[in-house]
Chain A
Amino acid sequence: MAWLHTWAGLLLGWVLFAIFATGTLTVFDSEIDYWMQPELHGAEAPPTAETLELAQRALRRTAGNAREWSIQLPGARRPVARIAWRTPDDAYHVRYLDPATGTLLTARATDGGGHFEDFHAQLHAGDPGMWLVSAVAVALLAILVSGVIIHRRIFKDFFTFQPGNRLQRAWLDGHAVTAVLALPFYLMIVYTGLVAEQDELMPLTALYAGGPSESREDEPRALGTSAPLAPLPALVAKAEREWGAGMVRFLRVTHPGDAAATITLYRANDDRLVDDSDSVTFDGVTGETLHAVTIDRPARRVQSSMEGLHYAEFGGAALRWLYFVCGLAGAVMIAAGLVLFTVKRQKPNTREAPQARRFYALAEKINVVAIAGVLLACIAYFWANRLLPAAMADRAWWEITAFFLVWFAALPHALLRPARRAWIEQLGIAAALCLLLPALNAATTDTHLLHTLPRGDWRIAGVDLTAIGIGLVLAWTARKVAGRPQTRSTALEHPA
């Protein structure tokens, strides 16, 4: 068990840290989305009915011949209505509603927090990436359980005096403390992550039981005769009498302006664990209720609740912060475990083959790339968002490319520099980029801390302040690494 924990932990830890770090950032995906589109800052949405009227008017004007409209109403996390439509040639357009003028705003193209989510769930590699992340997730469950099994010995070690071994002790304690304190969270978050993908991961069960569980309804076809669309505010008010005020957050209109138009409203899920959206569909001309969908099958509700546990939409800001802190603890646990592997093997052991020593030296460098390099890439993504021209072609793609370029550049850097210098430099640059992010924000937008703090605009200020907080932790870590006593691994890199 100790063998499995050590080696699976090392090899998979190199991927796991990145998955944990990006997953932790995904907790605040909407906040990151909003921060990354400063064109939308400052526009406070009017009441829902007024927003809907403005949106309907703007869509009729701009997208009168579209096959489909959708309206994402403003919520607490993103105060701007998002408007999208699909034209007959299947092109998809996204704009934002300016509540002051009723016109449509174009914001810079960005994947925002979605980039972290995509990397976290599938490494930006589609289905193969999803399978790889899932395999790593099962392995992490096994690593966690094997860690619990060997923990008995660790507990005994806790009270064993080991002179001259304080560094290793500190890393072991850091690894064990972060592991034990949030162990239920890790088991929960990994298992629910697998459950969220279970239809793809276990496709045979649905086939065996008789076809996929939910059949997609056929889109109604356009009739070709025009008819005015029913006013949206009245339908939303009707649905909200059932669901509660403010619970309609998303609307979809098919064939607007056609006699066969339909309007579907979706219920928000941020007041409950279940992650399935109830919906109600109206005739788009008469406003008559066509059908309502509520998923009340118990097994599906269990699965959906587990998905809700993973996505953490149900408990407001306090719960998101709890997830964020637990996610950070998980990242620290993985990082401390990786560092522990190399620290443990720094003492000379004459029985060891030279290949083993070379592997340990290489492992320390990969650790740098897998931990400090990932952090560097994440903060570089925020910088790319502010530095790339707002109207650049393929802009969202370039932001993600910046993330990967910085990460890949961390590898040759770590290989060329002595391991300790590589740690200090990559952690130091990441810390500097974090600490300077508010300054970059101030240089490129009007919604920086000097404006957002006095206004109490925590949605935007939260991103800048969190960057400062993480920057301070990284700077402290870099200083600790710089100040630690010279170890044998550095001596090994410069053989006499």
Chain B
Amino acid sequence: MADVAARTGAAVFGGYVLAAAFALALTGILPLSAPEAAITGALPSFAVHTAAVLWAFATGDAMRAWAGLLLPAALCGAIAWLGA
């Protein structure tokens, strides 16, 4: 039960953090005007969140589920920070 709760938390919140960080990173690196980049960055983010949900429940255990979402989210955050 605790495993399911931790995976669900990863799917919902970890997945959102990754999707939002991905959108920011894409917005940061796209050579478009600001409003255009913001739209283009957010468009694919829901597919990222969907993949994150599948990952959270398909991977070996809850620790891996969280780590596999937060590490790429941190990477995306760094790209966004550098691109700002």
Contact = CB atoms under 8 A, between A and B. Distances in A.
Interface of A: 1, 3-4, 135, 138-139, 141-142, 145-146, 191, 194-195, 198-199, 201-202, 204-206, 208-211, 213-214, 297-300, 302-303, 306
Q: Is the interface of A mostly helix, strand, loop or mixed?
A: helix
A139 B53 contact: yes
A138 B53 contact: yes
B18 to A, nearest CB: 12
Contacts of B62: none
B65 to A, nearest CB: 12
18 contacts: A1-B58, A4-B58, A135-B12, A138-B53, A141-B53, A195-B46, A198-B39, A201-B42, A202-B20, A204-B23, A205-B23, A205-B38, A208-B28, A208-B38, A297-B36, A299-B37, A300-B39, A303-B43
Query: Counting chain B CB atoms within 10 Å of each CB, which of A195, A202, A302, A303 scores highest?
Result: A202
A297 B43 contact: no
A298 B13 CA distance: 31
Contacts of B10: none
B14 interface: no
A206 B38 contact: yes
A298 B36 contact: yes
Query: Counting chain A CB atoms within 10 Å of each CB, which of B24, B38, B80, B84 scores highest?
Result: B38
A198 B43 contact: yes
Nearest to A303: B39
Interface residues of B, number: 32
Nearest to B40: A299
Contacts of B45: 198, 202
B36 A300 contact: yes
B61 to A, nearest CB: 14
Contacts of B37: 205, 209, 299
Contacts of A205: 20, 23-24, 27, 37-39, 41-42
A194 B48 CA distance: 13
A213 B32 CA distance: 13
Contacts of A209: 27, 34-35, 37-38, 41
B54 interface: yes
Nearest to A198: B42
A138 B15 contact: yes
A206 B80 contact: no
A4 B54 CA distance: 8
Contacts of B39: 198, 205, 213, 299-300, 302-303
Nearest to B45: A202
Given A138-B53, A198-B45, A213-B39, 11 more contacts: A141-B46, A204-B23, A205-B23, A206-B35, A208-B24, A208-B27, A208-B38, A208-B80, A209-B34, A214-B35, A300-B39
